[in-house]
Amino acid sequence: MKRYKLRIDGPSGKIETVINDPGPERIGIALIAHPHPLHGGTLDNKVVQTVADTLLSLGYVAVRPNFRGVGMSDGDYDHGEGEVEDMLAAYAFVQPRYPDLPLLLAGFSFGAHVQNQIGHKLNAQQVVLIGPAVNMFEFGDVAPNATIIHGGKDELVPLEVVQTWSEAQGVKLVVLEGADHFFHRKLSQLKQTLVELCQC
C-alpha cells in the first residue's frame, strides 16, 4: 500500500491530489470529490476521508483531488464548472497509470453535484452520491449507475427533497437513520453502507 501526494497539471494550474494505492490486488479506481470549496471543503474532510479509506480497504485506488483554490491547488472557485474539469484532469492523469481498471465515482454534498455531471461524461461502473445538495445546485438527470446515500436527519439538505428527486429519477436511495449532513457519529454506518454497495 502506497500514498502519493502530487500536484498534477490541470486546466487552471496545478491540482493537489492524494492517491492511495492498495497494491497489485487493486480492483478499480475511485475518484472522490469533496464538499464546497467556499465552506471548508477539502480532500481531508472526514466524510471524504472515510470514503477513501473504505474504498482503499476494498481494493480501489483512492484518488482525492483538491478543487481549484483549495489547499495547494491553483485557481479560484468556479461554481461547479471548473471543478468538473479538475476531476476530469485528475482522472486523465491516473487512468493511464492503472489501465483497464473500472471507475467508481463518489462525491459528498457539492462533490456529489460535480460527480453527477462527470457520471454523464465518463463510463463509471458505480456513482455514489453522498448527501447530494440537490436543493442548492442544479443536478438535472441522475448519472447512470448511481446510488444515493443520505442522512435521515440532514439539516442542510432535507431528506424529503432528496426523496422527491430520487423517486423522479428512479434511483436507489439509502437512508442512514439519525445521520445529519456531516454524518457526525455515523461514519461507521456510512462505511458499512459503502462496503455493502461495493460488494454487491
Residue 155 is predicted with a pLDDT of 97
DSSP tally for the chain: helices H, then strands E? 5, 8
**Calpha distance 170→10 (Å, rounded):** 35
Q: Which domains does the chain have, with CATH numbers?
A: 2-198 (3.40.50.1820)
Give the rounded percent of residues in the chain with a pLDDT score beyond 90.
98
Mean pLDDT of 195-200: 85
Q: Is the pLDDT of residue 199 over 90?
A: no
Please give the model's pTM, rounded to 2 decimal places: 0.97
Residue 198 is predicted with a pLDDT of 87
Exposure of 161 in the CB half-sphere (CA atoms within 13 A)? 16
Residue 40 is predicted with a pLDDT of 93
